[in-house]
Chain A
Amino acid sequence: MSEEERLFPTQEVGSIAKPLWLVQALKGQKPSPNALSDLERWRGRVPFVPEHDPRLKKLLKGEVDEVGPHGLRDLGALFGLRYLEAAGLDIVYDGEARRMEMYEFPIRQMTGFKLLGHVRSFDNKYYLKGACVGKVGLPEPYHLDEFEFLKREARRSLKVPITGAYTLADWSWNEYYLGKQKGWKGRKARRAAQRELLVDIARNAIRPTLKALIDRGAKFLQVDEPAAGTHPDEAELVVEAFNESVEGLDAKFAMHICFSDYRCLFPALLEAKKCSQFLWEFANRDTPEKDGYRDLELFNEFEDHREIGLGVTDIHRDVLESPELIRDRILRASKILGDPKRLYVNPDCGLRTRSLDVAWEKLTRMVRGADLARASLAG
C-alpha cells in the first residue's frame, strides 16, 4: 500500500518561509554569518544537496553571483521539497520557493494587469495590488519550470498549488470590465464586471496553465481560493471560476479555502463537480470551548461525500499542537464524517508566516498525530 492509499495521508497546503540565506542571496547579497550558520544547521536536518554540489560550495563562499538567480532558485526549491519530505509528508511541493507571493506572481505572468502600489492587509503588512486595465491574457502558461524540476527531484507524490481565478479577481481592482459598465458603479454593476473578469482569468490564464501542467504530468492540482468567503453572496462566482478553470481537463483537483464562513458557500460549492477535495482551515477555530470541526457537518447535511483536507494545525500562532491533540482532531472529524477514508491531513493553510523551526515542529507533530490516529483506528 502506498503512503497515499493508507488512511489520513498528510499533505502541505502552500508556502513555507524562505530561508534567510536564500532571501539574501536572491537580493544579490553575500549571505550573512547568521544565514550561513542557519543553512548549515538545516542541512544537518534536511540534506537537500550533497556536500560536493558546486552551487552549495559557491554559496558557502559567498559567491552569490556565480550561483546565479536560476541556480539559487533551484537550491531554494530543493530545500523546500526536501524539507517537506523530511518532515514526513506524503504529498509535497516545494513550499512555493520560486514564487514571490500567491497574488503578485500569477498577475505578473498575465497581460491586462498593472501593479499599482501597496495596500495594507493589516498592521504593517501590505501586498502589492494590481488593477485589471485590459482584457486578461496569458502569453505563456506558468509554474511549468518549477513543476518539471520537482517532477525530476521529488521522492513523494506532488500536488501543484495554483491561485484561483476568483481570488485573483477579488484581490485586483477591476478597471477594464467595470469601466465598460455604464452609469453609477453600484453593487450590481460591480458584480457583473467582476464576473467578466474572473471568467476571463479562468479561461484565458488558469485553464491553459492547468492544462500545460497536466500535459507535463501533473496529476493532483490544488486551486487556492482564500478570497472565497470574502463576499458571502458570491459563492456562485467562486464555483463558476473553478468550473471555468477546469473545464475539459482531466486530473484530480482540490480547492483550498480558509478563514471563511463556509456555510455561506453552500449549496453553491457542491456544483464544483470536478473538485475531488476541499481543504479547509479548522484548527484556528478549534478551542476547548468550541468544536472547530462542526462545519464538517455541512457535508453530511448536503449529502456530499468528497475528500476533505483537514486543517489540524494553526498557521497563525507559534503554539505547537501536540500529536495527541492532532490525533483527537482527526478522530473527531472522522466521527463527524463517518468515513475516515475521506480525510487527508494538512495545516490550516501555508505555513509561510511561521519560522522554519516552528513550521518544522508543526509539520512533524502533524505527521505523528496522523500516525497516532491510524494506530487508534487499527487498535
Chain B
Amino acid sequence: MQDLPPPIPLGAIFYLLRSGPAVPQVRLGLTSSFPRPEELVAATRELDRGRRTAEEVQGLYESWTGRVVDLESRLGFSTVLGGDLGRQDLFRPFSESTPGLEVGPLTRWFETNTFFRQPIVNAPPQWAPGAFARQVPFERLLASKIAPRVILPGPYTFTALADNRTDLSRQELAVRWSELLAREVEDLSAHGVKVFQLQEPSLVVDPPSVEEESWVREAYEPLAPALSQVDSVLWTFFGDGAPVLPLLASLPVETVGVDLTDTDPTRLTELAPGKGLGLGCLDSRTTLVEDPKEIARIVRDLFDRLEPSEILLGPGTPLDLVPWEVAEKKLSVLPQVRKVLEGAPAARPRQVAPARRPAPAKRSKPPAPRARSKPKPKVKLKASSKRAPAKGGKKRR
C-alpha cells in the first residue's frame, strides 16, 4: 500500500500564499578529515620515537576530537564528524582489521605530497564486526546532540586503489566491498550514526567508461537497502565531477558531491530529481581563504539551474592538507556563505513547494547503544514546485 502524503504544515501553506525569492536550503558539514593540531603532530612524532605512550596520545586525540566537534557545532553544521584525527588514511581502519586485507606500501594520494598505505586484498574481504565502530569517537559525537557522520571508502575508489591479489574481478570485489559496507552501515547506525559519506575520488579522477558505468551501478546495489535507511552522501574530489554527475546521481545515495576546484560549475547542467547536491567549495590545496560571496553566487546559480533537493557545502578535497589554523579559517567561511544566501536571496521569484514530508517510520533497526531523543525535523521550504519530494521524506543532515 502506498503511503498517504503527510499533511502540509501550516507554515508552508502560509509561505505558499506569498510569492518571493527562494532561499536555497543549505546544509553545512565537515566532509573530510581535519588536520591534526601542532600538539598532536608533536605527540604522534614522540609516540613513534618511544617518548610518549599510546595512552597519552589517545587522550590527546580524544580531547582534540572534542575541539573539532565543538567547532562543527559552533559553525552550525548539520552533522559532526570529529575530524577523524586518529585515522591514518581513508582505508587504514579497514585494511588493518578486515579479514582478507593487509596494509600495503606507501602510495601517492592522488596529486598531492601525501601518501596512503595501499590496501592489499589477499582474499575476499569479510566484515569484522565492530572493528571500525571501535575507532569512531561515539562519546564525543553523541554528546554534541548533532547527527554523527562517518566517512567510508566507496566501492569504486576502494577497488581502484587496492592491490587486488584475489581471483575476483574488480566488479566482483566492488560488490563484495559494498556488501561489507552495508553491514558496516547497519552496525554504525545502530550505534547512532546518522549520516554516511562514501568517498569516491576515483570516480572523477579515473572515471568509468560508459560501458563500465553499469557495473558501477550494480556494485552499489548491495548497499542500497542499508543506505535507504540513513542519510547518505557520495563525495568526489580531485577531479571534474561534471562528466560523471548523471552516473553519480543514479547511485543509491541522497546527495552527490563534487569538488568545485576541479569542476567548472557552469558545466553542471542536470541533476536527477530529488537528489541533493554537495559542493566542495573549500580548496585545501591553497591556504587562501575562499570568498563567501563568490561561493554564494555559485550556489545560487546551481540552485536555480539544477533544482537540487538541498545543497550541502563542505570542503572539497580533504582539509587535512592544510594546517589546523588554516582549516579553521576555511571552515568558518561556510556559515558566512549561508548568511549571504539568506541575506540576498535568489534574484528570480519562484513558486515555493510544500515542505518536505516529515519522516515516515523507518524500518526497525538494531537497538542503539544509547537511547536518544530524535530531533524534531525542521520545516524547510523548498524552492521549486517542479522538484520531486525527497526520497522517503527523511530528514537530511
Contact = CB atoms under 8 A, between A and B. Distances in A.
Interface of A: 116-124, 126-127, 129, 131, 170-171, 173-175, 178-179, 183-187, 190, 227, 230-232, 259, 316
Interface in B103-137: 105-106, 108, 111-117
B321 A119 contact: yes
Contact of A117 (B38, B285, B294): B38
A119 B323 contact: yes
B67 to A, nearest CB: 16
Q: Which 10 A-B pairs have the closest CB atoms?
A: A117-B323, A124-B44, A122-B115, A173-B287, A118-B41, A131-B287, A231-B111, A124-B48, A123-B88, A175-B288
28 contacts: A116-B322, A117-B325, A119-B320, A119-B321, A119-B322, A120-B35, A121-B114, A122-B114, A122-B115, A124-B44, A126-B41, A126-B45, A127-B113, A173-B285, A173-B287, A173-B322, A174-B286, A175-B288, A178-B288, A184-B260, A184-B294, A185-B261, A185-B283, A190-B261, A190-B285, A230-B111, A230-B112, A231-B111
Given A122-B106, A129-B323, A116 B45 contact: no
B127 to A, nearest CB: 25
Contacts of A230: 108, 111-113
Contacts of A124: 44-45, 47-48
A307 B114 CA distance: 30
Given A119-B323, A131-B287, A186-B262, 9 more contacts: A118-B41, A118-B323, A119-B35, A121-B115, A122-B88, A126-B41, A175-B288, A179-B288, A230-B111
A124 B47 CA distance: 9
Contacts of B45: 124, 126
B264 A186 contact: yes
Contacts of B112: 230
A185 B89 contact: no
Chain A binding surface, main DSSP class: mixed
Given A124-B45, A186-B262, A117 B324 contact: yes
B182 to A, nearest CB: 29
Contacts of A227: 113
Nearest to B325: A117
A211 B203 CA distance: 46
A138 B107 CA distance: 34
Contact of A120 (B111, B260, B288, B320): B320
B161 interface: no
Contacts of B262: 186-187
A280 to B, nearest CB: 16
A173 B113 contact: no
A316 B113 contact: no
A179 B117 CA distance: 34
B261 A116 contact: no
Interface in B255-312: 260-262, 264-265, 283, 285-288, 294, 298
A230 B238 CA distance: 13
Contacts of A122: 88-89, 106, 114-117
A178 to B, nearest CB: 6
A195 to B, nearest CB: 15
B326 interface: yes
B329 to A, nearest CB: 11
B194 interface: no
A179 B260 CA distance: 17
Contacts of A126: 41, 45
A34 to B, nearest CB: 13
Contacts of B324: 117
Contacts of A117: 38, 323-326
A175 B287 contact: yes
A2 B88 CA distance: 49
B286 A116 contact: no
A170 B113 contact: yes
A275 to B, nearest CB: 23
A118 B38 contact: yes
Nearest to A259: B108
Given A116-B323, A126-B41, A175-B288, A121 B113 contact: yes
A178 B38 CA distance: 26
A86 B105 CA distance: 32
Nearest to A187: B262
A120 B298 contact: no
A118 B327 CA distance: 12
B261 A187 contact: yes
B36 interface: yes
Contacts of A116: 287, 322-323, 325-326
Interface in B1-53: 35-36, 38, 41, 44-45, 47-48
A217 to B, nearest CB: 34
A120 B286 contact: no
A106 B321 CA distance: 21
A173 B265 CA distance: 24
Nearest to B240: A187
Nearest to B298: A184
A185 B288 contact: yes
Contacts of A170: 113
Contact of B114 (A120, A173, A259): A120
A80 B392 CA distance: 68
Given A120-B35, A120-B36, A259-B108, A185 B321 contact: no
B286 A185 contact: yes
A124 B85 CA distance: 11
A35 to B, nearest CB: 14
Among the interface residues A116, A123, A179, A232, which one has the most CB atoms of the partner chain B within 10 A? Answer: A123
B70 to A, nearest CB: 20
A316 B261 contact: no
Contacts of A171: 113
A376 B320 CA distance: 51
A178 B286 contact: yes
Given A122-B115, A230-B111, A190 B286 contact: yes
Contacts of B105: 316
Given A119-B322, A122-B89, A186 B114 contact: no
A170 B298 CA distance: 28
